[in-house]
């Protein structure tokens, strides 16, 4: 395809596809917001927990409440260290009565699998690393449902957001189809057998099926700008092993009413102590682009925090960023300064997510 | 991409076209292609002094920040104001979208830069283009 490749945590990944085939980050981003885009996300890892105590095991390692999941339902969650900081964020899918699938990040696959295995030894369930068995392909955007429906016998209109089903896709039987994504848009992630011939065929057939809906292949660059507009965290940026759940603002996915999970005790203490920094959305008011790692200053040029992710937002047509700042600077409307190559540039705390997809009336 | 032979090139992917003691500077098509969608160009003010090999500005795409290096020493006489509002013009026509005009301090400096053919060879080795 002639995509620009980059080494991403040891994976050769496309950053963007060439302008010659109608791509480039801005076009890719816009296609997902208005039509459809397709992403090769086979770098994502998959861990299956299966057995009589699979639920108990998931409950022990995941901060969300998996007991609320019906078979076929999924939830966003995180795996935590005992100190309440992040091993990784995950999507927990309940595939069967006693079967759960955790979808994890590329850069942390090995670490995550070892951590899950080591922390579930006391439970009667099998923990398997299925990461190399699947190619994960994401079809995202308001037209994603129309694209995928052409390729599958599963009735996608009955699959709600954050639910999964199985169906024949491109002639392949019993393919896992999840209505999930990392773009703040409607869309699907499908898990096809990892052999290259099969993945390539599904990829190409999706592009053909999506042609009438303006589908374009999308790389990691657009994936990043899309998730940033939707304030979806990225490991190593908004969440890490030194950032806790309260700081990251992921409270609603952390169920403290659960009596026990790894990290809970520390989080209880941290909650009582209060946070010293919190994640905010920032929009540049001056001319400049905030980038990862740039310093955030107050009005007397005192360093108060740092940018975790910053970029031009192609759909919103603004320069936006996520940053950690002390809570007293987190109020929407607060003026802050971002230091860009030694120069202070004006910015302002704004409501997040920056982008929220329009609600459908169906 | 055929690189115009009416100018010289640097390994940092700038081009410079001279006429006597004045010169025009921009970035190459290879540079714009590598950067992707350009959204921001930061240039020095008229009167600023450029020193060969030193940074004089910044170009940013959606995904990356890249420094601009002076292909020759001199004094800035004009900047392309158009790029402040339409930086994407560099993507559309890198060799036509000039950034700076300068008064050369030492026109002989250009003799040390790459010809179009040498630059083409250089980027073919660097990026497989």
Structure tokens at B98: 């000039």
Which pLDDT tens digit goes with each residue over A172-223?
999 999 999 999 999 999 999 999 899 999 999 999 999 999 999 999 999 9
Question: Residues A12, A144: one domain?
Answer: yes
Domain with A319, as residue range(s), is 276-350
Question: Residues A221, A85: one domain?
Answer: no
**Nearest neighbour of B37 by CB, restricted to A4, A25, A224:** A25
Residue A307: give its domain's CATH number: 2.40.30.110
Please tell me the predicted confidence (pLDDT) of residue A3: 65
Over pLDDT 90: what percentage of chain A?
Answer: 88
Last residue of a domain, one of A201, A229, A257: A229
Average predicted confidence (pLDDT) for chain A? 94
* Contact at CB, A26 and B62, closer than 8 angstroms: yes
Q: Are A227 and A182 in contact (CB under 8 A)?
A: yes
- Which architecture characterizes domain B8-127 according to CATH? Beta Barrel (2.40)
Does the bond joining A3 to the residue before it have cis omega, within 30 degrees of 0? Answer: no
Q: CA B7, CA A140: separation in Å to the nearest integer?
A: 45
**Nearest neighbour of A16 by CB, restricted to B36, B58, B91:** B36
Which pLDDT tens digit goes with each residue over A261-278?
999 999 999 999 999 999
pLDDT at A20 over 70: no
Indicate whether A105 belongs to any domain. yes
Please tell me the predicted confidence (pLDDT) of residue A11: 61
Enter the ipTM.
Answer: 0.87
Residue A63: give its domain's CATH number: 3.30.70.1400
Over pLDDT 70: what percentage of chain A?
Answer: 95
Phi first, then psi, for residue A5 (nearest 5°) are -100, 155
Burial tier of A183 (Cβ tally within 10 Å: 0-12, 13-18, 19+): buried
Last residue of a domain, one of A195, A214, A229: A229
Please tell me the predicted confidence (pLDDT) of residue A321: 98
Which pLDDT tens digit goes with each residue over A62-89?
999 999 999 999 999 999 999 999 999 9
> What pTM does this model have?
0.93
Question: Residues A36, A138: one domain?
Answer: yes
How many Å lie between the alpha carbon of B126 and the closest alpha carbon of chain A? 13
Question: Residues A146, A174: one domain?
Answer: yes
Indicate whether A95 belongs to any domain. yes
Please tell me the predicted confidence (pLDDT) of residue A43: 84
Please tell me the predicted confidence (pLDDT) of residue B92: 94
Please tell me the predicted confidence (pLDDT) of residue A1: 43
Indicate whether A359 belongs to any domain. no
How many Å lie between the alpha carbon of B45 and the closest alpha carbon of chain A? 16
Total domain count, chain A: 3
Question: Residues A12, A52: one domain?
Answer: no
Tell me the average pLDDT across B35-39.
94
* Contact at CB, A312 and B91, closer than 8 angstroms: no
Which pLDDT tens digit goes with each residue over B75-107?
999 999 999 999 999 999 999 999 999 999 999
Question: Residues A219, A302: one domain?
Answer: no
């Amino acid at each position: 395809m002639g995509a620009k490749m980059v080494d991403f945590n040891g994976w050769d990944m496309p950053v963007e596809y060439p302008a010659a085939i109608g791509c480039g980050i801005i076009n890719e981003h816009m296609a997902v917001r208005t039509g459809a885009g397709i992403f090769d996300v086979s770098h994502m890892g998959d861990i299956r927990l299966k057995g009589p105590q699979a639920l108990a095991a998931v409950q022990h390692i995941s901060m969300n409440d998996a007991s609320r999941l019906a078979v076929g339902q999924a939830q966003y969650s995180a795996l935590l260290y005992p100190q309440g900081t992040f091993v990784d964020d995950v999507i927990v899918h309940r595939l069967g009565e006693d079967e759960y699938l955790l979808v994890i990040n590329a850069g942390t696959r090995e670490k995550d699998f070892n951590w899950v295995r080591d922390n579930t030894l006391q439970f009667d369930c099998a923990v398997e690393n299925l990461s190399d068995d699947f190619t994960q392909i994401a079809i995202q955007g308001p037209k994603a449902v129309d694209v995928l429906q052409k390729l599958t016998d599963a009735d996608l209109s009955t699959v709600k957001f954050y639910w999964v089903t199985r169906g024949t896709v491109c002639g392949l039987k019993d393919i896992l189809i999840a209505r999930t994504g990392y773009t703040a848009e409607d869309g699907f992630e499908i898990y096809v057998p990892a052999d290259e011939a099969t993945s390539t065929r599904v990829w190409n057939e999706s592009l053909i099926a999506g042609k009438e809906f303006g589908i374009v292949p999308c790389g990691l660059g657009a994936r990043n700008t899309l998730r940033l507009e939707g304030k979806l965290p990225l490991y190593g940026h908004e969440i890490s092993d030194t950032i806790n759940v309260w700081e990251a603002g992921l409270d609603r996915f952390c169920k403290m009413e659960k009596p026990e999970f790894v990290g809970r005790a520390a989080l209880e203490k941290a909650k009582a102590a209060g946070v010293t920094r919190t994640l905010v959305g920032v929009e540049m008011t001056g001319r400049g682009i905030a980038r990862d790692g740039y310093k955030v200053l107050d009005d007397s040029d005192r360093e108060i925090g740092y940018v975790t992710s910053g970029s031009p937002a192609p759909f919103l047509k603004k320069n936006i960023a996520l940053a950690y700042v002390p809570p007293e600077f987190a109020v929407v409307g607060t003026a802050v300064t971002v230091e860009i190559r030694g120069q202070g540039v004006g910015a302002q705390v704004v409501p997040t997510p920056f982008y929220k997809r329009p609600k459908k009336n169906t | 991409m055929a690189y115009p032979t009416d100018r010289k090139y640097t390994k940092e992917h700038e081009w410079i076209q001279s006429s006597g003691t004045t010169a025009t500077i921009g970035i190459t098509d290879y540079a714009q292609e590598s950067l992707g969608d350009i959204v921001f160009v930061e240039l020095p003010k008229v009167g600023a002094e450029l020193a060969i090999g030193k940074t004089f500005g910044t170009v940013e795409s959606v995904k990356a920040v890249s420094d601009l290096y002076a292909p020759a020493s001199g004094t800035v006489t004009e900047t392309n104001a158009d790029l402040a509002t339409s930086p994407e013009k560099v993507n559309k026509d890198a060799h036509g979208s000039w950034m700076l005009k300068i008064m050369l301090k030492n026109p002989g400096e250009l003799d040390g830069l790459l010809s179009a053919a040498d630059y083409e060879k250089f980027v073919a080795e660097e990026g497989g283009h």
